[in-house]
Amino acid sequence: MKKVLKGMPTFSALGFKKQLLALAVCLSIGAGIASVAEAAPARNVNPPALKAGAPQVYVVKKGDTLWGISKKFLKNPVRWPEIWASNKHVKNPHWIFPGDRLLMCTHNGKPLIGKDEGDGCEGIIRRYTGDTKMQPQVRIESLNNAIPVIPLAHIEKWLERSIVISPEALENTPYIVGAADERVLAAKGQTVYVRGNGLTVGQRYAVYREGEPYTLTDANGKKYKAGLELIQVASGVAVRGENDITTLELTDTYNEEVRRGDRVLPEYDPMLPTLFYPANAENVTAGGSIIRVQGSIGMAAANSVVTIDRGALQGVQTGHVFSVNQKGQIVNDPQTREKIQLPGQRVGTIMVFKTFDNLSYAYVLDSDLPIKVGASIQPPLLDE
């Protein structure tokens, strides 16, 4: 069993096995869809509004995502679970695959969308309401073909190989001091030397590169370090130890080479989430904002990854969807010459895919304008 790094925050969306990763981010809404749909009336909001021109029939294509399909039907895609008709008598009936025909139906005056199994809306409604007269058909399908919530390739680096820990947790951890053959950089198949105690011969380790710490401001205006980002650049096995120097053979490198100063920590394999689907962000501490755009100096667009200053301790969960609002421009009044701030505007939507204690990673589902660092986030309005 792999060791877990002591002092590391609880992660809600991590994984190293691609098939399990696909499982985690497929349309794994099963019972979750039923519970969300049944709970919808209690929110005292109108039924989900259909998008103008929503198709009556849609054939799922390779490359589709749940969010993209939801946007074809609904003004507010986060409300997809409220209209999805799953067959409660089939294992994993919520998964959608390329080639599936989705039909727009009406049940008790409300929209209902389900998979056509050859019997049209009548069959969709019958299976949704729990009629067991017809036996479900057996379907064998590769899990890797299931339609994901979002493109996995866009978040893989941060989902699988990025963590945020407290700066104190990194103190006294082993680090790379050199490589064989006097190399400055090392890659897969090469040998590096690690200085520090606690490494065990035969144990697998991850090599991480330190990023910039996250600095936030508390209610009193005082700045503090909320976390330190580490990106995994390699994996390796400890093959020999002498005093406080351990020889590590690199078995994998990830887009970057290992260099001196990189940190060495035990590999961990936390459990993947059992549910990962867009959900309204309820009961989250208000006032959150985007504090970093990954891979950019500060501008995000659709398919980007951002960090928000809200995490598990503030009520954020994997799958939570937020609207992004940009502050209005400050302009000079042409008559009075005074500076005034124009109203803000909604510029996009993000979905959280990985949470830490006080921070979370989120994926930009859509954006009308470039999203800047400092943009505020809030739960989307459901009454749409």
Q: Which two tokens stand for residue 236?
A: 């390796």
364 DSSP β-pair partners: 350
Question: How confident is the model over 295-335, as pLDDT tens digits?
Answer: 887 799 999 999 999 999 999 999 999 999 998 889 999 99
CB 214 within 8 A of CB 289: no
CB 74 within 8 A of CB 48: yes
Span between the terminal Cα atoms of the chain, in Å: 48
| SS3 category, 49 | coil
Nearest to 277 by CA among 63, 35, 75: 35
Q: How many CB atoms lie within 10 A of CB 155?
A: 25
Architecture of domain 279-378: Beta Barrel (2.40)
Nearest to 162 by CA among 211, 222, 115: 211
Could you tell me the pTM of the whole model? 0.79
Spacing of C-alpha 137 from chain mean position:
33
CATH number for the region 154-266 comes to 2.40.30
Q: How many CB atoms lie within 10 A of CB 247?
A: 18
> pLDDT at position 94, please?
65
Q: How many CB atoms lie within 10 A of CB 6?
A: 8
Question: How confident is the model over 74-103, as pLDDT tens digits?
Answer: 998 888 888 998 766 665 656 788 999 999
Residues near 302 by beta carbon (within 8 Å), at least 6 away in sequence: 348, 364, 365, 366, 367
Q: How many CB atoms lie within 10 A of CB 210?
A: 15
> pLDDT at position 144, please?
60
Spacing of C-alpha 180 from chain mean position:
38
Ordered DSSP codes for 154-188: HHHHHHHHEEEE-GGGGTT--EEEEEGGG-SEE-T
H/E run at residue 24: helix 18-25
> pLDDT at position 160, please?
86
> pLDDT at position 381, please?
76
Q: Which two tokens stand for residue 170?
A: 């990194």
Nearest to 193 by CA among 214, 209, 166, 174: 174
Low-confidence ranges of the chain (pLDDT < 70): 1-45, 87-94, 131-144, 269-276, 382-384
Amino acid at 144: N
> pLDDT at position 41, please?
40
Domain definitions of the chain by residue range: 27-145, 154-266, 279-378
> pLDDT at position 26, please?
40
> pLDDT at position 274, please?
44
> pLDDT at position 297, please?
77
> pLDDT at position 19, please?
35
Longest dimension (CA), the chain: 77
